[in-house]
């Protein structure tokens, strides 16, 4: 998904919010907004929103000399989510369809996103997502794929959301590689936040090799790209992974809430929708009725 003009105001809002989180003075906040506007003018037409987001957050880190402005909110979100872990596991265990419940729980965690809003309500989101009718529901494709693959590459999104991912990973029948960011960007999970959420106990931790949001393959490490190309099934969490991978031919199942109105319109759903979307490649690779086609 490319940057829409509708993203421009949102980029300024994010730059201002990140500057303040990093403790920038009003003069520095203004300077960062001005540099963000310069970057916007120069943005290549094919750039995706996470690529611009990455520039903004790098700019804020460099100008404020604060290496991780979201460290405290990442730790808070992880602690909040960890407190819910027993309840989340109990819900999966009590349900007749543990996979569906675990997938919805993983999508619930996607509400933890400081790029879109400054606060969130986990409990209310859990009830909403558990009972929502997904606007796109490729759960049958995902279910069938999980029966046919021997490993999953799971692309993480935000800190705290990691705990919700853990519940899904504990439910999956195959080994998982869990890919976080190689360095801080926004409130995205890095190795530290994955370990704080216990992901090292349920998956092999890896990273994208870069500190971009989502997984823009051109910026990721060769090792990550190789792992991405080999993966028979990729579960990609959240908006930034959708934005950077929606145009890539790979066997991906996107799990997200379409929180942003622009992304929702790009997908063709109402804002706030719950999305379980198989890529074309995954859909053709897996036949829900007959097994592998290609």
Binding site for a copy of itself (CB under 8 A): 5-6, 8-10, 12-13, 16, 26, 29-30, 33-34, 37, 40-41
Nearer to a copy of itself, 13 or 63 (CB): 13
Nearer to a copy of itself, 6 or 280 (CB): 6
Give the tokens for residue 68: 């991780």
How many angstroms separate the CA atoms of 82 and 160, rounded? 8
- Name the minimum Å distance from CB 195 to a copy of itself: 35
Nearer to a copy of itself, 20 or 191 (CB): 20
- Name the minimum Å distance from CB 184 to a copy of itself: 23
Q: Tell me the DSSP string of the chain.
A: -PPPTTHHHHHHHHHHHHHHHTT--HHHHHHHHHHHHHHHHH--TT--HHHHHHHHHHHHHHHHT-S-TTHHHHHHHHHHHHHHHHHHHHHHHHSS-HHHHHHHHHHHGGG--TTT-S---HHHHHHHHHH---SEE-HHHHHHHHHH-S-EEEE--BTTHHHHHHHHHHH-SS-EEEEEBSS--TTB-BHHHHHHTTGGGTSEEEE-SS--SS--TTTS-HHHHHHHHH-S-EEEEHHHHHHHHTTS-S-EEEEEE--SHHHHHHHTS-TT-EEEEE-HHHHHHEETTTEE--
Nearer to a copy of itself, 33 or 99 (CB): 33
- Name the minimum Å distance from CB 127 to a copy of itself: 25
Nearer to a copy of itself, 16 or 103 (CB): 16
Q: How far is CA 223 from CA 28, 102, 175, 176, 179, in A?
A: 37, 29, 19, 16, 12
- Name the minimum Å distance from CB 73 to a copy of itself: 19
* 205 in Cβ contact with 180 (< 8 Å): yes
- Name the minimum Å distance from CB 34 to a copy of itself: 6
- Name the minimum Å distance from CB 98 to a copy of itself: 42
How many angstroms separate the CA atoms of 250 and 232, rounded? 9
- Name the minimum Å distance from CB 130 to a copy of itself: 29
Nearer to a copy of itself, 37 or 47 (CB): 37
- Name the minimum Å distance from CB 29 to a copy of itself: 6
Nearer to a copy of itself, 2 or 281 (CB): 2
Nearer to a copy of itself, 2 or 225 (CB): 2
């Amino acid at each position: 998904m490319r940057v829409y003009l509708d993203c421009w105001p949102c980029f300024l809002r994010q730059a201002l919010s990140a500057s303040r989180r990093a403790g920038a003075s009003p003069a520095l906040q203004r300077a960062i907004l001005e540099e963000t506007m310069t970057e916007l003018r120069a943005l290549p037409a094919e750039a995706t929103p996470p690529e611009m987001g990455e520039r903004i957050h790098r700019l804020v880190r460099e100008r404020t000399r604060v290496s991780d402005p979201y460290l405290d909110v990442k730790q808070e979100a992880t602690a909040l989510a960890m407190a819910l872990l027993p309840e989340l596991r109990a819900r999966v265990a009590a349900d007749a369809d543990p996979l569906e419940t675990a997938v919805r729980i993983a999508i619930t965690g996607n509400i933890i996103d400081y790029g879109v809003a400054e606060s969130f309500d986990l409990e209310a989101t859990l009830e909403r997502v558990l009972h929502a009718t997904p606007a796109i529901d490729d759960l049958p494709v995902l279910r069938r794929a999980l029966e046919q693959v021997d490993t999953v590459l799971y692309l993480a999104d935000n800190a705290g959301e990691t705990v919700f991912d853990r519940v899904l990973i504990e439910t999956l029948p195959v080994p998982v590689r869990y890919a976080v960011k190689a360095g801080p960007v926004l409130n995205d999970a890095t190795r530290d936040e994955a370990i704080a959420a216990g992901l090292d106990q349920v998956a092999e931790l890896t990273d994208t090799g870069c500190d971009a949001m989502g997984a823009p393959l051109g910026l990721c490490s060769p090792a990550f790209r190789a792992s991405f190309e080999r993966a028979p099934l990729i579960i990609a969490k959240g908006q930034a992974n959708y934005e950077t991978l929606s145009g890539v031919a790979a066997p991906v199942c996107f799990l997200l809430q379409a929180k942003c109105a622009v992304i929702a319109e790009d997908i063709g759903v109402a804002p706030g929708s719950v999305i379980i979307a198989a890529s074309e490649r995954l859909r053709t690779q897996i036949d829900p009725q007959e097994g592998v086609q290609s």
